[in-house]
Chains A and B, each alone.
Chain A
Amino acid sequence: MKKEIIRRSPVAFNMRPVKEERRGHWVVALEYENEGDGPHLVDLSHCIRWDLQDSDPNGDRGKWKPLGIPVPEQPGGCIIKNGVMINRMNNTQAAIWHLSGEEAEMPPETAYTDVTDATAFLALTGEKTFAIAEKLTALDLSDLDGTPPFLIQGPFVHVPCQIVVMANGAEQPGILLTCSRGYAHDMVAAILEAGKAFNLRPAGEAAFKRWLEQLK
């Protein structure tokens, strides 16, 4: 076959990126025009995501160490190491998100399922993150008792989502969220509309990585 085979994200912003990069079969948008200082909405749907399910992901205290990272013991717990996030969803399930955007080989055990294409993966970052989010969900994302990063599973724009609050301080708060892939179009439209009053702009992966970097 001569034709180039491209994997497509379910998210399409209403503009062309000014910088993009070919990564495997993906074309990743690195930067959009007039991104501004935030808040930003970033499409991370190309980032590889795995589902890990087993009777006890902590098995024998640490049997499951995807890529050498131990699965958090409590549901809601998150861990980030080497550009990979693992968040614990319930007693038997954890999600593994490759925030680096790099390709990775899934471990061979049957407990893993590649769910990259099951969801749309978005980052909402910047000072007004929670002002935008409270228009779209009743979930208490800015819960001051929670120590980021933590996972909340619940409705965001009426759709069940997996949301990781990465930072909830006054400085540069931000959340990651996944929703069923089919909802990507309506989800992005709803978030952008809610963020209009706060100057929310689509941004590329580079902006997300800068933001991630300053969290440390």
Chain B
Amino acid sequence: MSFIITCPICGPRNAYEFGFGGEDKGPRPDEEALSPGDWCDYVHMNQCVAGVAREWWIHRSGCGVWFTTSRDTTRNLEVQVETMEKGPNPPLEKE
């Protein structure tokens, strides 16, 4: 965990400031007609790529924002950084 993760709010920080939120699998599926097996796959099955993975992280010891970033799992390094446009703390439009 020596590597650096770039928080979209706070910038690059030590990885140990962050918590891991799993692979980016997309939104929760609709529950209508969802089989238990499909649900289980969504919750528990992962790609586990040896290479670049898109993942959720939270800046747990910092600003607390959830965001996605890409990590090369073979080198344990963040590989590209993009500022989140949509996320848990998005700049929402005023109604």
Q: State yes or no: do A and B touch (Cβ within 8 Å).
A: yes
**Out of A55, A59, A92, A155, which one reaches B17, CB within 8 Å?**
A155
Q: List residues of A (156-199) whose CB comes within 8 Å of B's CBs.
A: 160
- Verify if A18 is at the interface (C-beta below 8 Å from B): no
Tell me how many residue pairs across A and B have CB atoms closer than 8 Å: 46
Contact bitstring B48-78, A, C-beta under 8 A = 1, else 0:
0000000000011111110000000000000
Task: Report, as a range, how many residues of chain B touch the other chain.
Answer: 10 to 19
Q: Which of B10, B14, B64, B90 has the most CB of A within 10 A?
A: B10
When the two chains form their complex, are residues B92 and A154 in contact, meaning their CB atoms are under 8 A apart? Answer: no
**Out of A55, A56, A76, which one reaches B10, CB within 8 Å?**
A76
Contact bitstring B27-65, A, C-beta under 8 A = 1, else 0:
000000000000000000000000000000001111111
Contact bitstring A128-154, B, C-beta under 8 A = 1, else 0:
000000000010000000000000111
Helix, strand, loop or mixed for chain B's interface? loop
When the two chains form their complex, are residues A59 and B62 in contact, meaning their CB atoms are under 8 A apart? Answer: no
B residues near A59, Cβ cutoff 8 Å: 94
Contact bitstring A77-114, B, C-beta under 8 A = 1, else 0:
00000000000011111000000000000000000000
Answer whether A91 and B94 are a contact pair too, CB < 8 Å, given A154-B61, A160-B60.
no
When the two chains form their complex, are residues B91 and A55 in contact, meaning their CB atoms are under 8 A apart? Answer: yes
- Verify if B79 is at the interface (C-beta below 8 Å from A): no
Contact bitstring B9-22, A, C-beta under 8 A = 1, else 0:
11001100100000
A residues near B89, Cβ cutoff 8 Å: 90-93
A residues near B94, Cβ cutoff 8 Å: 55-56, 59-60
> In the docked arrangement, what's the CA distance between A89 and B94, Å?
20
User: Closest 3 CB pairs between A and B?
Assistant: A55-B92, A155-B61, A153-B62
